[in-house]
Amino acid sequence: MSLSIEQLGVLLQVPQQIVILPHTKPDGDAIGSALGLYHCLHSHYQHHDIQIITPTDYPDFLHFLPADEKVIIYPRNENTAKNCIEKATLVFILDCNDTARLDDLQPFVDAIYCPIVLIDHHLDPQIVAAYQVWTTAVSSTAELVYRFCHQLFTQPIINADAALCLYTGIATDTGRFKYNTFPSTFEVVARLIECGLHLEQANNLIFDNNTEKRLRFLGFILSEKMIILPNKKVAYIAVSQEDMDLYQYESGDLEGVVNYPLSIAGIQVVGLFKEQSNDDVGLSFRSKGDFSVNLYVREHFIGGGHKNAAGGRSSMSLDDTIHHFLDTIANYPELQGSN
């Protein structure tokens, strides 16, 4: 089944049971897009039942987003979430290119028959959608949600709440407009400001939200755990469960930490390795310039993402994962030699 934007518009004229699903461990773009779409749909139509369901919880700093309390977090509300997906007549999958990235929700979503709308900017989408808004030449899914609403509604009314959610997606996925930033990105932000976005207040909410504990943990990581390889082009950080226990680690405490070594002049690739409670090691990679961490992670670990930002996991121990990383990264001539 495939739908045109006009047919989708017609579908939305009658009451629907709408479910919005962002990827697991939602980041600022995933949850910002989901809530942004919620506010856009909600302000246009009063007749839909709209539920946002996340496969897992998300970092504390994102809970300021307007209507956050409406989000159904699957592990806390398994039955409600499952029922909503089963009853859905229209499903939006956001910032997610594969139902495998919906974690425990995957079997329910794979079993639905209703139309799926996919809005995403990750490489190689594997989801069969009735309607899709997809390109990698964009800052974020939030930017695509803005474009989608602009297309869908002849009179786009993005309220201040929607604007704040969508801005959160754009600002976090571009590292505050450092990468993945296109002329259209600034155009959309300009429109969001016209729609009532208070830029300074939004930036404070999104970025100035550290706790003392988290900042001291960051200090510890940077002084004790950051390793720079002799060629001064690659850096990595390995965080063990013991390190996290020492600083009473909470979900989100390592958010963005991978970017700090990248701020050292000459460093082109950074890997962050985090021991997980399930014996896996979580991976987060960033690069500057031509080196594709997406291809690197796909080839040597389980995961992927974008050229300059990718994530994944390893089922080896933390030590073995680091050895594997050092062995494989040594095979890239462009990362050898000194600057």
**Residue number, nearest CB to Mn ion:** 29
Instruction: Tell me whether residue 51 or residue 140 sits nearer to Mn ion (CB atom).
Output: 140
> Which three-class secondary structure state does DSSP give residue 285?
strand
Q: Segment 100-159, which members bind Mn ion (CB under 5 A)?
A: 140-141
Q: What share of the chain is helix, strand, coil (3-state, %, to 5)?
A: 45, 20, 35
Q: What is the rounded CA–CA span in Å between residue 61 and residue 251? A: 10
Cα–Cα distances (Å) from 124 to 121, 127, 218, 287, in that order, read: 9, 9, 34, 20
Q: Which residue has the tokens 């021991």?
A: 275
Stretch touching Mn ion by CB under 5 A, among 25-33, 63-71, 96-104, 295-303: 25-33
Task: For the chain, count helices (H), then strands (E).
Answer: 13, 12
> Which three-class secondary structure state does DSSP give residue 338?
coil
Instruction: Tell me whether residue 172 or residue 321 sits nearer to Mn ion (CB atom).
Output: 172
Is residue 29 a contact residue for Mn ion (CB under 5 A)? yes
Write each residue from 250 to 279 as x if it is in contact with Mn ion (CB under 5 A), else as -, in one continuous string: ------------------------------
Using the rule CB under 5 A, which residue among 92, 95, 102, 329 binds Mn ion?
Answer: 95
* Distance in Å, CB of 227 to Mn ion, minimum: 28
Q: What is the rounded CA–CA span in Å between residue 163 and residue 38? A: 11
Instruction: Tell me whether residue 141 or residue 268 sits nearer to Mn ion (CB atom).
Output: 141
* Distance in Å, CB of 173 to Mn ion, minimum: 5
Stretch touching Mn ion by CB under 5 A, among 41-49, 52-60, 108-116, 165-173: 165-173
Question: What DSSP character marks residue 254?
Answer: T
Q: Residue 314: beta bridge partners?
A: 281
* Distance in Å, CB of 23 to Mn ion, minimum: 8
Q: What is the rounded CA–CA span in Å between residue 23 and residue 94? A: 7
Instruction: Tell me whether residue 93 or residue 221 sits nearer to Mn ion (CB atom).
Output: 93
Query: Given the rule CB under 5 A, which residues bind Mn ion?
Result: 29, 95, 140-141, 173
